[in-house]
Amino acid sequence: MKDYQRGPVLLRGKNVPTTTTSGRLLAQQDTPDWVHGDPWRVMRIQSEFVEGFGALAEVGSAISVFGSARSKPGAADYEAAVEIGTKLVEQGFAVITGGGPGVMEAANKGASEAGGSSIGLGIELPHEQGVNEYVNLGMNFRYFFVRKTMFVKYAQGFIVLPGGFGTFDELFESLTLVQTKTITRFPIVLFGHSYWDGLVAWLRDVVAADGKISPADLDLIMVTDDVDEAVAHVVTSVKPPAERS
Ligand SMILES: C/C(=C\CNc1ncnc2c1ncn2[C@@H]1O[C@H](COP(=O)(O)O)[C@@H](O)[C@H]1O)CO
């Protein structure tokens, strides 16, 4: 039986192709449909990781701030996020957000007006274009999972303000990564007792009580209404005393 080696893959018998990889690369294509195929998507996904790693590698210490895309200037959450962005910069952190409106815009506003790195990792959505005006280092991603890798890889902690499904997604991904010890020393602050206490109570009284998480898993979360306390919690968890400003 004749062996055919296609890169690392061994093919025999009926799987031996009648053309070579190079030959197919150079052949004329009848239609451009291949641009929409999964193999081509893999290349785009790969390039998105490469661009993201390249853009963010030198960011230094950073905290990701999440929260509703729908909060408006003047609302308590929005103004708290501005203050959080400012205070994180004052403590020597870059601020990473999803680059969109609402709480993301607010945290970016606080960070950029305080003279810090204000990073926005936007996502291609049907009716949204680009990142908010307060971002001074921005990227727009096609793929949610690539973008979410960046939120975790380049931040040392999360501060989560009130939000909806998008915020929950980001919160629970980080909790899973910490719970499974995939990432360590990663403080997670929920900002706003009146918004988050119900969720924390449900996690304790239903989820932990039913044995679906361990009660100790709730220690991963800190809830506060106080901007200084939120910032102090991530700073003390992340930076050893000698590095604090
Ligand atoms: C719905 C609106 C804008 C959508 N634009 C977004 N731009 C960037 N990132 C977004 C956007 N919407 C959601 N996200 C991500 O999810 C989190 C907020 O989602 P939530 O459902 O509002 O809690 C946020 O942290 C982003 O990463 C309004 O015009």
Say if ligand 1 is within 6 A of residue 101 CB: yes
Closest ligand 1 atom to Cα of 151 = 27
pLDDT at residue 109, rounded to an integer:
98
pLDDT at residue 38, rounded to an integer:
79
Task: Locate the domains of the chain by residue range.
Answer: 49-238
Say if ligand 1 is within 6 A of residue 141 CB: no
pLDDT at residue 1, rounded to an integer:
58
Closest C-alpha residue for ligand 1 atom 19: 166
Dist. CA 168 → ligand 1 center (Å): 11
- For 230-240, the pLDDT digits (tens) are 999 999 988 76
pLDDT at residue 244, rounded to an integer:
54
Query: Which ipTM score applies to this complex?
Result: 0.90
Question: Does domain 49-238 bear CATH number 3.40.50.450?
Answer: yes
Say if ligand 1 is within 6 A of residue 116 CB: no
- State how far the Cα of 95 lies from the Cα of 108, in Å rounded to an integer: 7
**Cα separations in angstroms, 14 against 1, 6, 8, 213:** 10, 14, 18, 50
- For 45-72, the pLDDT digits (tens) are 999 999 999 999 999 999 999 999 999 9
**Cα separations in angstroms, 188 against 71, 72, 180, 191:** 21, 24, 15, 10
For the chain, which ranges sit under pLDDT 50?
A: none
- Note the pTM of the prediction, 2 decimals: 0.86
Closest ligand 1 atom to Cα of 167 = 23
